[in-house]
Chains A and B, each alone.
Chain A
């Protein structure tokens, strides 16, 4: 008997049906080409594409990567070819190798930039969900990250919702005092869903050279070390809000996916694991039926938020 037939991995995210809940997180999977050389990426539920801004960006100086215990710090700085090039070149290339709807991850340094970029990707048939990264600094507000204050996060949400038709998920930064207040502000501003968590701000020091490992000094910490923080925040937000949550942070196994879903996630993103093990997402998807069998789960959607 085929495991796949007995076990239903499908989930629905704001009307978007996914074959399974596993989505590579933005920035760890490019536009799919590199991982497609290892395996057919059509096994994935969806793909969250590399974070896109209005203008092309080279990003931060190198070194941009630092090894950590159970994870890594990255300070890539949103290197991307700009939204027009993404729409003109990257999306058509991705469509050739990936035949399912995608998640378009948008970043911005002003409210206008978010709105402009989201309006552009909203027109693309391929894009099923718009994921708005509010961890970027607001250049009009002293560089304060949009995602650190409920009102600023809500303002981005309203601006994006006003110019789009597709479901909008706000991707939240965990580097805040009260994640629930920010998530609720986004929900009240019209967000269709919440994605969390982005990376935790971290730092490593090269003790021999007496200077930071990362050229930009600090960067985003990700990997299995942050998984418990992610589960906690997914739990808090999904129980406080009535919109769906995409869980993200340190997921490495089918067991982690199920744990994240029990905490309240409807879909689960896999980030850093894609860098360490190029087959991570494929392996997790293949392991899910085995883990479901072990735990007596027939339909994955049945366990979403099952933990009180």
Chain B
């Protein structure tokens, strides 16, 4: 189920030069799984902006967004106390109840945020969680400390080698000999593909697409899978690796 509501900005601050964290206060009962997203209406823009949910509790939703265009630019100028019209509870999200012992969470850039709540859910289910976070350079790194504070093993890769393993997330997985029996991933398409190429282990991946409505009505974000046509916004954004057509 999903719902439209008015949310009040509690906090809005930068984590890096272009990645921001926003905390919204309002009804959160429609959010049921990590990996779901919200769709935010912004003044002067026609379409809403879909942003993944980083975390939530009974009263607040935390989102982390990268300033990439007019919409996210506008969000970065908003102040605590301002209000936003938001659709919540969108998308299927990750399945934290999958039978596994040692799940690996792999995030690339602004794909990192939804894995944070997922890590909490997996820890609550007694899983031994490892996390690999990939960025271009050390200045772009965010949330590594927040993951460490959960008590999970955190590995970082940077393309320029300025922090952690030099290279991509797949290099960090190999270099550290990370042992895992399931994976969850969110990040750019080449990263998701490289990850699937480097392991035979089963897993789930979260995809991005330009969306019209964000709740399944317009068929703007459809994709073909081995289990039929799916809407990224409705049956996705999370897909099982075995159903993906690369």
Which A residues are closer than 8 A to B by beta carbons? Answer: 27-30, 33-35, 37-38, 50, 58-59, 62-72, 74, 76, 79, 213, 223, 272, 274-279
Contact = CB atoms under 8 A, between A and B. Distances in A.
Counting chain B CB atoms within 10 Å of each CB, the highest count among A66, A68, A278 belongs to A278
The list of the 9 closest CB pairs from A to B, nearest first, reads A275-B213, A65-B220, A63-B210, A34-B217, A34-B216, A79-B219, A65-B210, A65-B212, A30-B217
Contacts of A33: 216
Contact of A278 (B1, B4, B219): B4
Given A64-B220, A70-B46, A72-B47, A274 B229 contact: no
Given A37-B1, A65-B211, A58 B47 contact: no
Interface in B195-228: 209-213, 215-224
A79 B213 contact: no
Given A65-B210, A76-B220, A34 B45 contact: no
Contact of A69 (B46, B210, B219, B220): B46
B178 to A, nearest CB: 33
Main secondary structure of the interface of B (DSSP, over half): loop
Contacts of A213: 210
Contact of A58 (B3, B216, B218, B222): B222
B143 interface: no
A38 B216 CA distance: 12
B239 interface: no
B222 A59 contact: yes
Contacts of A277: 4, 41
Nearest to A214: B210
Contacts of A79: 219, 222, 229
Contact of B218 (A62, A70, A74, A223): A74
A53 to B, nearest CB: 13
A274 B217 contact: yes
Given A72-B47, A276-B48, A34 B222 contact: no
A65 to B, nearest CB: 4
10 contacts: A28-B213, A28-B217, A28-B218, A65-B47, A67-B47, A70-B46, A72-B212, A74-B212, A276-B47, A279-B4
A275 B220 CA distance: 10
Contacts of B3: 38
B234 to A, nearest CB: 8
A50 B217 CA distance: 9
B132 interface: no
B210 A278 contact: no
Nearest to B224: A58
B213 A278 contact: yes
Contacts of B213: 28, 34, 274-276, 278
Interface in B58-106: 87
A202 to B, nearest CB: 13
A252 B135 CA distance: 42
Nearest to A81: B229
Contact of A63 (B87, B209, B215, B229): B209
Given A27-B219, A278-B4, 5 more contacts: A27-B218, A34-B217, A58-B224, A67-B46, A74-B212
Contact of B215 (A50, A71, A223, A278): A278
A34 B219 contact: no
Given A63-B210, A275-B212, A278-B213, A68 B221 contact: no
Contacts of A65: 47, 210-212, 218, 220-221
